[in-house]
Amino acid sequence: MLLLEVKNVSKKFGEHEVLKDINFELNEGEVLGILGRSGAGKSVLLHMLRGMEGYEPTEGKVIYHIARCDKCGEVDVPSKDGQKCKCGGTFHEISVDFWNNKEITYNLKKKIAIMLQRTFALYGEKSVIENILEALSSAGFEGKEATDIAMRLIKMVKLEHRITHIARDLSGGEKQRVVLARQIAKKPVIFLADEPTGTLDPKTAKLVHEALKETVIKNNIGMIITSHWAEVIAELSNKAIWLEGGKIKEYGDSEEVVNKFMETITEFKKFEKVEVKDKQIILENIEKKYCSVERGVVKAVNGVSLDINEMEIFGLVGTSGAGKTTLSKIIAGVLPPSKGKYQFRLGDEWIDMTKPGPMYRGRARRYIGMLFQEYTLYPHRTILYNLTESIGLELPGEFARMKAEHTLTSVGFTEEEAETILDKYPRELSVGEKHRVALAQVLIKEPRVILLDEPTGTMDPFTRNMVAESIQKSRKELEQTYIIVSHDMDFVLNVCDRAALMRNGKVIKMGKPEEIVKILTEEEKEEMIGH
């Protein structure tokens, strides 16, 4: 049965039109994939279908076909027409003009499930089971019924071994599966998934894809999924849309649309070699120990020695749990090592980073920038504000704008784009543009060294090329040193001068990325090479 109609929909932010005359239909139990490079309008469309504030259509209509209880107002899929509701009322099929019927839309929104990229939306201090039970309670399930459903959901997303773990302590893939279970607990009429595995390594992404099949597709829930990875669309959807510049370029059978899209994919751009300078960082026999109730003393970093040169792009690679995140925090001065020597050069002076205080670690930390995987921009402030006042950059207005424009050009925007983008808001930018703004936010503080944590997580191949160019350009123009923490070996091969492979807290090998690839295990290749 027909579930959703999108009729002649367009969307403008100011004068910028991000969606143009979008038309499609979705039947109950059908899966629609939406392909397109960063900035095509994929996320804006899903936000509109979810009813998020500020995403109402400028033109056109979003029509949901649902069944509604005549007694309590409960909303369900249209095939429930004529069936009894648990309150004793009867479901009747109706059509809802989603953005112009507030009374029914309020209840309908509760039954629209969504998974957003880079956003886990969990109660961080509560356990997995508590997070799922909270969602079930909001959906009206209590007692034994709620417990039975929760256990069934936990099995479906394969998290039986994490039931009592606190949400904030889970890995990215595990968090995403808890989000999936929470959303399914709503008994949704439609499931919206916006790049649900974009920040995950290929191995973990497969687990989430299997969970989507088990929880959404097998239960005949209509789903719209966006991705810049064509194989995800081919694997999960019946039909597909290829968005380009806010318009539908192709619409039809998913395999046919994916094949046409794949013809446009370009390989990584090759870059000229840049001559690096003297040593910037020296680590000798660095250790970091933690005490765990379950495992006793754990060496997250175990006797690491390495050096990084000024203007070098250095990769820190390894599978999940190898110790690269802990080591990167030690390099950034966020964590002190338990043992070993760490020297950081400022000008001609070497700083002992194992010592706290304003003359040692505190002095050097202001020259080390970090861009985390879960970066944030102030959504209701302009890009200019995000690049200046929000980070405490104290400059007169004209100088602040000039510096912001210069920094944006150093990460790959043209001068015209940089001038225009400063007065926009984050929601008007694509994911790739926001990522480059976040990188500019770090660069504008004039650090000597920048650590990037999984910089290519949610990026399509086009945007990955842009970010690679941004890193190379700022390295050359601003004489930056980069440390890239990543499991994306393809990106490391393209961008980094050298890399260190970590296993079980130790550096197994340090050298050119091509040399690292040759010694990867099958498990490492599965997690680190290619989608």
Report pLDDT digits (tens) over 214-230.
Answer: 888 888 899 999 876 78
Does 61 have pLDDT greater than 60? yes
Residues 244 and 227 in one domain: yes
Q: Is the separation of the CB atoms in 148 and 195 below 8 Å? A: no
Report pLDDT for 293. Answer: 58
Residue 465 lies in a domain: no
Report pLDDT digits (tens) over 418-433.
Answer: 999 999 998 888 777 8
Name residues whose C-beta falls within 8 Å of residue 298's C-beta, 6 or more positions apart in sequence: 289, 290, 291, 292
| Helix, coil or strand: residue 348 | coil
pLDDT band at 525 (very low <50, low <70, confident <90, very high): confident
| Average pLDDT value for residue range 58-78 | 94
pLDDT band at 251 (very low <50, low <70, confident <90, very high): very high
What mean pLDDT value characterizes the chain? 87
Q: What is the C-alpha to C-alpha distance for residues 245 and 228, in angstroms, rounded to an integer?
A: 14
Higher pLDDT, 435 or 121: 435
Q: CA-CA-CA-CA torsion for 267, 272, 276, 282, nearest 10 degrees?
A: 10
| Average pLDDT value for residue range 29-49 | 90
The angle that helices 143-156 and 128-138 make with each other, rounded to 10 degrees, is 120
Residues 482 and 356 in one domain: yes
pLDDT band at 296 (very low <50, low <70, confident <90, very high): low
Domain with residue 58: its CATH number is 3.40.50.300
Q: Is the separation of the CB atoms in 405 and 413 below 8 Å? A: no
Residue 273 lies in a domain: no
Residues 285 and 169 in one domain: no
* b/e code 138-156 from CB counts within 10 Å (16+ = b): ebebeeeebeebbeebbeb
Residues 71 and 193 in one domain: yes
* Structural domains in the chain (count): 3
Residues 418 and 293 in one domain: no
Q: What is the C-alpha to C-alpha distance for residues 82 and 198, in angstroms, rounded to an integer?
A: 40
Domain residues for the domain of 305 are: 278-367+447-460+478-530
Report pLDDT digits (tens) over 96-146.
Answer: 999 998 888 888 998 999 887 655 578 778 899 999 999 889 888 889 989
Report pLDDT for 433. Answer: 82
Q: What is the C-alpha to C-alpha distance for residues 410 and 40, in angstroms, rounded to an integer?
A: 23
Name residues whose C-beta falls within 8 Å of residue 525's C-beta, 6 or more positions apart in sequence: none
Report pLDDT for 439. Answer: 86
Higher pLDDT, 460 or 220: 220
Report pLDDT for 361. Answer: 93
Q: What is the C-alpha to C-alpha distance for residues 39 and 28, in angstroms, rounded to an integer?
A: 28
Q: What is the C-alpha to C-alpha distance for residues 185 and 193, in angstroms, rounded to an integer?
A: 15
CA atoms within 13 A on the CB side of 445: 21
